[in-house]
Structure 1
Amino acid sequence: MIGSPVSSTFRKYSRILGLSLLFEIYSIKDLPIVTLVMNVVTIYQEILLHPRNSPFPGLNISAVNIPHPIRRSRLLDLHRGIRLTLSLQILYWKSIFPWSGIPLNYDDALQFLSGRHAKDMKLGLENIRSLLARLDNPERRFKSVHIAGTNGKGSTTAMLESILRESGYRTGLYTSPHLVDIRERIRIGGVAISRRDFLLEIADIQAAAEETNASFFEILTAVGFKVFADRGVDIAVVETGLGGRLDATNLITPELAVITEIGLDHTRILGTDMETIAAEKAGILKPGVPAVIGTQITAVKNFFEGEGKRRGAVLRYVMDSVKTENIRLAESGTLLNAWVGDRRFRDLRLRLLGAHQVENAATVLLIVDELRSQGWAIPERAVYDGLAKTVWRARLELLQIAPKIVLDSAHNGLGAKRLAHAIEEIFLYRNLTLVFGVLSDKDYGTMAEILFPLADRIILTRPDNERALDPYILAELPVCRGLRIEISEEIGRAWEFAMKRTRHNDLVCAAGSIYFVGEILRLMGENACGE
């Protein structure tokens, strides 16, 4: 075996696997034994040459080469028995039916999902309902808070999960899209599930996904729900993907529904006016389920009042129930005082930057108040600590001080306004370099009009996404006339170009798309898995 000594434990492990395969081969009359053996050998090579992709925890080259009986004994650790059995199942079927497409390693799982991503998106709940039924309806086996909205839903989700975790609850967190690693979307206790667990979940769900013609997002939603149910979370905080009414997450019946600020985004799918978009978000409201509405726009509030009555949901409004005061914005974080009914919070510290995070925190405080009224034990200390510890990557994130590097996921007009306010009111710098990449289906004209005049230098690039906008189209916008514009289509070159021309007291800001800033994080060797 690649010239390495094999431990007795590994030999024993191989014999167990070999015996199980020989026992099963009697039921396969027309499969040549040579084919089976060659398939098994191929799989062994894959595991040994690419140990990080192996579904077998603890099996790696060092465990074979280095005489260390304690390390080798972990291969047969009963604590991992269930996962090992599932892994053997994958290996067995892969060896007999190598053409079956069952993922053997992490890259296989990503390739399978990528194939589903390529399918045309079809809004509706039929596929996800069928898929969850085949998995014994995991969405019915955990408690949840369901959060929708145009802007702020991700940050609100992250703050709430942090507070619930600080309260001692075993939490689940489901968000989208991801920045660097797909596992960011599914977390237990604030940490993304492992590669091994992700692989096993995808392998377990693959047949049902193909039978139901499930899409990329539907598969990940089902995996998230299954993980939350199987791991026995006390409560999961679930963010919608797109809209609400027909979103794959909308099969849960939560303890509480939340709708954050409403704005114009995904207009080709959700509609081109505020009321139409609000109606899609209102689709998560359910009879008898209380809801918190975060909008600060009176017309939108009036619309939701009608929707709440029509759907039999009792609504509470942040603009009526929460008062914030003495707000102090800084590069190190935000301090504020807040009133929720008769309860006062003095000197709350938000780790997340920006005035808009005060609005999100106000929404979270009302959510906490509602959950407490339902009997959830959330100490005041957990609220302070949870907000102060919340990490939500690439949301007005200050990565470096000299020179200052800020990443922001602003990808619509409202997000651009909030970023512009932060650039003008929070950060001190000499010159601003804006590195900008955007998708073609976004309101990039409005974003450019808001952000470009603030910059001393603008570097346009192309996100690594099939919907990316050609930066040369951006450069032709009227707002670009007279501005210092440079174009580098490859993100790595654009970032290198920006950093080479930046001095220690300058600010470099990357914005325009979640996918784009995710690529910047990857370039900088960062991850967003909470590990």
Structure 2
Amino acid sequence: MNVININGKLISAYTENRGYEVSNLLIQYMITARSMNMTYDEAMKFIKKAEGLGSIPGLETITELLRRIGNPQDELNIIHVAGTNGKGSTISFLSGILAAAGYRTGIYISPVVFSYREKLQIITLDHYTDDFEKNKDSNQNNILHVEYISEEDVCRTLEIIKSACNDMTNEGYAHPTVFEIETAMAFLYMKYQQVDFLILETGMGGRLDATNVIRHPVCSILTPVSMDHMQYLGNTLEQIAYEKAGIMKSNSFAVTSLQAPEVLSVFKFKAAELNIPLFTADSSKAENVRYYDGYTTFEYPDANKHEKYSIQMLGSYQVQNAITAITTARYMGSMGYAISENAIKSGPGLVRWQGRFEKIAASPDIYIDGAHNEKAALNLRDSIEIYFTNRRLIFIIGVLADKDYQCMLRILAPLADTMITLTPDNNRALPSYMLAACAKLYCGKVYDERDIEHAIERAYIEAKTGDVIIAFGSLSFLGSLKSIVKARKDERNNG
């Protein structure tokens, strides 16, 4: 018999194979206990300390950690998402569809842009209409309710997890990494919240990613694959695709976005090995795509007819992400899940996704985008050519050192009149002077401003009427940049 100290109470649990087999009732009690020893500041310090352990691919540690807290992931309906680009947007579109169908949908995402608590969200449908009975089947006047995990629930879940981590190290196990801890937090929290679905984003790769501890997903989604994290995943598209394909499981199905032939070949081989269907979300079949200031419309076939869709997320690539979510929802519906055609049609238009080609200010127009690799840079270039023809462009860029920034600059820098570099607040950040030196190969006017405050100040100085400022690269600085721009706008309005 071992003892866990939670909330100042001694709770006993039988041990097996040196770990705790914690009952569901015990988990419920520990999470809902009103008194907590851990404060939010202490929780963040625990997370910060775990960040120092780095990233260690493999499933042994996360498997042991989850076993000690009762394997909450085994009681969740999970949709698993891997890929290089478009994961977050695809998750957002699918969460909108599932919410429109009446499901309480949890999402687990990383990295986040504006708040640590963004990692865990619960999406439901709010009905704001004068005549609910008339409009309940059309979703007219409906909006999504997005709820981040509370500080209290961060503390409750991390208190349980920290205790398990301490016991693991005392017994000779490796201490879980920060991503393993947060993945365990996601499973524990979503189980407690009794979500109908959890849409789960991989952190890196797939096969050895901590999220891949799940055994029975509803389905697996594979968004576009390109070159990224090569030091971990491999130096060819086939090697990277092999790692992503590792999330596919037997007794399930998989959906893939359009892929390079060598990537699709790997996915088909894996699906055949598991004897599961692999469906392609063929965005090339989209017709009548129209881009407007604030929304995009397109048509996509369903059986013998073309349905018209409207989405609020901007960018040419968002049509592809929406179609991947639409295709997934259609096949979920065909396999018995209650997802109406109306939910599939209206759901994608209900969602927004912060930090992805998002307009955050006007006069001058300022956009932020999380483009951080070759494919994302190509997507951003396409969007720029669609929305900003004949407008002078000012770019703000900051990247992590392990990204192919030279390729990104080769694609995007020639479009800019002015480039401004900064160093993101991240221990993996590329120094801004190195980024500036490379940018000068492709753009004649480059400023190394080092930090966010000086970068945005320089952009305002350079911007003239009609110019567009676009900040892109690492998501790790976009949240701070947005806050600074908002503060300047508030100050100007109050002045």
Judge same fold: TM > 0.5, yes or no. Answer: yes
Aligned to 1:11: none
Aligned to 2:331: 370
Give 5+ residue unaligned stretches, structure 2. 1-6, 11-27, 124-145, 169-174, 488-495
Aligned to 2:16: none
Give 5+ residue unaligned stretches, structure 1. 1-19, 26-80, 91-102, 527-531
Q: CA deviation at 1:469?
A: 0.8
**Aligned CA distance change for structure 1 residues 264 and 87 (closer, same or farther; 3 Å):** same
- Partner Cα distance (1:343, 1:137) in 2: 44
Q: The residue matched to 1:488 in structure 2 has which SS?
A: strand
Contact 1:288 1:314 in 2 (8 A): no
- Kindly report structure 1 stretches of 4+ aligned residues shifted beyond 6 Å: 81-85
Aligned to 1:196: 152
Q: CA deviation at 1:165?
A: 0.9
Q: CA deviation at 1:343?
A: 5.1
Aligned to 1:503: 464
Does residue 88 (structure 1) correspond to residue 35 (structure 2)? The answer is yes
Does residue 265 (structure 1) correspond to residue 239 (structure 2)? The answer is no
- Partner Cα distance (2:313, 2:67) in 1: 39
TM-score by length of 1: 0.78
Query: Residue type of the partner of 1:440?
Result: A
Root-mean-square deviation over aligned CA pairs: 2.2
Aligned to 2:409: 448
Q: CA deviation at 1:128?
A: 0.6
Aligned to 1:143: 77
Query: Residue type of the partner of 1:329?
Result: Y
- Larger-Rg structure: 1
Q: The residue matched to 1:345 in structure 2 has which SS?
A: strand
1:59-208 aligned at under 5 Å gives the runs 86-90=33-37, 103=38, 105-189=39-123, 190-208=146-164
**Greater relative contact order (Cα < 8 A, sep 6+):** 2
Q: The residue matched to 2:285 in structure 1 has which SS?
A: strand
Aligned to 1:47: none
Query: Residue type of the partner of 2:414?
Result: P
Aligned to 1:458: 419
**Aligned CA distance change for structure 1 residues 279 and 439 (closer, same or farther; 3 Å):** same
Contact 2:413 2:442 in 1 (8 A): no
Query: Residue type of the partner of 1:112?
Result: F
- Partner Cα distance (1:149, 1:333) in 2: 25
**Aligned CA distance change for structure 1 residues 251 and 83 (closer, same or farther; 3 Å):** closer
**Aligned CA distance change for structure 1 residues 342 and 408 (closer, same or farther; 3 Å):** same
Q: The residue matched to 1:338 in structure 2 has which SS?
A: strand
1:484-495 aligned at under 5 Å gives the runs 484-495=445-456
Q: CA deviation at 1:121?
A: 2.0
Residues 27-85 of structure 1: CA deviation (Å, up to 9, x unaligned): xxxxxxxxxxxxxxxxxxxxxxxxxxxxxxxxxxxxxxxxxxxxxxxxxxxxxx97997
- Partner Cα distance (1:423, 1:434) in 2: 11
1:377-456 aligned at under 5 Å gives the runs 377-427=338-388, 430-456=391-417
Residues 126-169 of structure 1: CA deviation (Å, up to 9, x unaligned): 11111111111100111111111111111101110111111111
1:468-483 aligned at under 5 Å gives the runs 468-477=429-438, 480=441, 483=444
Q: The residue matched to 2:263 in structure 1 has which SS?
A: helix
**Aligned CA distance change for structure 1 residues 490 and 376 (closer, same or farther; 3 Å):** same
- Partner Cα distance (2:302, 2:474) in 1: 34
Contact 2:82 2:221 in 1 (8 A): yes
**1:353 pairs with 302, 308, 314, which one?**
314
- Partner Cα distance (2:485, 2:335) in 1: 44
**Aligned CA distance change for structure 1 residues 245 and 519 (closer, same or farther; 3 Å):** same
Contact 2:333 2:340 in 1 (8 A): no
- Partner Cα distance (1:289, 1:256) in 2: 5
Contact 1:322 1:366 in 2 (8 A): no
**2:261 pairs with 285, 290, 298, which one?**
298
TM-score by length of 2: 0.84
Aligned length: 435
Does residue 215 (structure 1) correspond to residue 177 (structure 2)? The answer is yes
Does residue 238 (structure 1) correspond to residue 200 (structure 2)? The answer is yes
Q: CA deviation at 1:481?
A: 5.7
- Partner Cα distance (2:442, 2:381) in 1: 20
Q: CA deviation at 1:478?
A: 7.0
Contact 1:395 1:409 in 2 (8 A): yes
Q: The residue matched to 2:252 in structure 1 has which SS?
A: coil
- Structure with the higher fraction of residues in helix conformation: 1
- Partner Cα distance (1:448, 1:272) in 2: 20
Q: The residue matched to 2:35 in structure 1 has which SS?
A: helix
Q: CA deviation at 1:184?
A: 0.5
**Aligned CA distance change for structure 1 residues 482 and 388 (closer, same or farther; 3 Å):** closer
Residues 63-118 of structure 1: CA deviation (Å, up to 9, x unaligned): xxxxxxxxxxxxxxxxxx9799734352xxxxxxxxxxxx3x21111111010010
**1:227 pairs with 189, 208, 233, which one?**
189
